[in-house]
Structure 1
């Protein structure tokens, strides 16, 4: 997975990672900077991708 996402990023694809454990694995594999966007909010990232309500983000909307 690390190699595939890193290569996709190098080719210009929009890539993102969510969760501290996932980010740690990328860094340990030497690919920490080879991703477009990284979020340490694992559970919150999954909720956002699932389309669930995000009260904190909703509060920022006009």
Structure 2
């Protein structure tokens, strides 16, 4: 059910919106928690805090088209 809520929120976020990285990171966290593997949960959480990969993406309307 949590993933459904995340995907619904993602539908409302445009590619230029500052909130683009949040649903993506949340989705990965929920999937990690679903595994019930504490090591994976901690790893995904740490990776999100350190890397923030979507935060560095150049998002504009042209990127959204692709």
Q: What's the TM-score once normalised by structure 1's chain length?
A: 0.30
Structure with the bigger percentage of helix: 2
Q: What's the TM-score once normalised by structure 2's chain length?
A: 0.29
Structure with the bigger percentage of strand: 1
